[in-house]
Copies of this chain bind each other. A is one copy, B any other.
Amino acid sequence: MDDRLARATLMRVAEPGDTVMGRLVALRGPQTAITQIRAGIADPELVRWFATVHHRPTGSQRPRPPSSPDERRARVTTRLDRMITTWAARLETADAARDLTDGERVGARLVTPGDPEWPTQLDDLGDGRPHALWLHGDADLRFSCLRSVAVVGSRAATPYGTHVAAEFGAGLGGRGWGVVSGGAYGIDGAAHRGALACGAVTVVVLACGADVAYPSAHQQLFAAVRAHGVLVSECPLGAHPTRLRFLVRNRLIAALTRGTLVVEAAVRSGALNTAGHAVTLNRHLAAVPGPVTSDTSAGCHRLIRQGRATCVTTPEEMIELVGAMGADLAPEPRGPVLPRDLLDPQTRRVLEAVPARAGAGPATLAVAAGVDLETVLSCVGYLAAAGYIERVSKGWRLRVHRPAGD
């Protein structure tokens, strides 16, 4: 059984992100791993590692400390044996050869570590690195992700959120940055569409098989992505999305990109899970602020308040964050310069003192403005010339149609 076939098999045997299997493969390579599983052997090296890292199924409660070393060893082996039994059970039903032909039939390609299209940044995932990826689409995954950003957020997005996500998708895509997301409703979809709208490359990382379009209402979107981008999945063909697969998928979105942008997220949102992965992987994390009256922005604001995410308001600012230092600086937002601002402070003070209707003489202006007479005389000359004021019988007054002030 060759490496590709072995890895295709492992996709069926272990759940995505299973770090124990990842470790076994890292230790012995995919083929040996499968042989061991079939034979029901617990690799001694793996047992040692398993024991040292106190490996526990993700998130489960910490068990009571073992009473003796023996009990400890026993526990570890039992837990590991259970896993191997599980893997073995799945191994029996796995048929990688058929998967490869099926993939070919639907037009998907299997990419494994070492292939030119393999995105090496996934190595940052360590033992959690996928065994292989199913890709479906014309774009080259590695190239698409060299300069890419993840744009994620709530499925239950507001019109504001979807508008902003689309703007960022288009703005990033238009500046040559790939837009990576999960292809879900709301923010994800809007970001992909924004990128597509300006003919840019976009990458959808699925939580299901590359041949399973989920959500099915995004059939057309996925078709467009296959034409101008690429669909990515670490699940076997035909696999259906589960909550766990969504969470595990998010680490890929974070790992593939230089940074993650959260556009809209409630304080409880899958997008925050992706944000967490981005931080763990030392990727940049940014969040778009929104109305404080909107619950779907509360998650973004919390990330900003905690100092975990940079507050980003434009695609340029996002590019400045993830781009090459100095090379991709965003323009500082500036207001218009008003003619009045070009006046030096003394002249401005005199102008302030000039009445609207009545008209006042230089002496009065001097006292009112708090400057001396000579200054007043030189200023009024300038101000009249600049069209701010005009001479009337009783002295000087503001002109009706003077240059706009703020």
Contacts of A90 in B (CB 8 A): 367, 370
A311 proximal to B (CB < 8 A): yes
A293 proximal to B (CB < 8 A): yes
A335-B266, A370-B90 given; A292·B164 CB < 8 A:
yes
Contacts of A298 in B (CB 8 A): 313, 333
Contacts of A70 in B (CB 8 A): none
A301-B311, A302-B333 given; A370·B289 CB < 8 A:
no
Instruction: State whether B310 touches A372 (Cβ < 8 A).
Output: no
A54–B276 alpha-carbon span in the complex (Å): 53
In A18-59, which residues have CB < 8 Å from any B CB?
57-59
Of A142-150, A173-181, A344-352, A383-391, the one touching chain B: A344-352
Of A311, A334, A366, most buried by chain B (CB within 10 Å of CB) is A311
Instruction: State whether B335 touches A293 (Cβ < 8 A).
Output: no
A125 proximal to B (CB < 8 A): no
A112 proximal to B (CB < 8 A): no
Contacts of A317 in B (CB 8 A): 305
Contacts of A267 in B (CB 8 A): 333-335
Instruction: State whether B348 touches A243 (Cβ < 8 A).
Output: yes
A345–B56 alpha-carbon span in the complex (Å): 11
In A288-326, which residues have CB < 8 Å from any B CB?
288-293, 297-298, 301-302, 304-305, 310-314, 317
Instruction: State whether A372 touches B244 (Cβ < 8 A).
Output: no
Instruction: State whether A160 touches B293 (Cβ < 8 A).
Output: yes
Contacts of A266 in B (CB 8 A): 335
Contacts of A68 in B (CB 8 A): none
Contact of A82 among B243, B301, B372 (CB under 8 A): B372
Excluding A60-B345, A82-B372, A89-B372, 9 further A-B contacts by CB distance (< 8 Å) are A242-B349, A244-B348, A244-B349, A288-B292, A289-B289, A289-B290, A292-B314, A302-B333, A305-B313
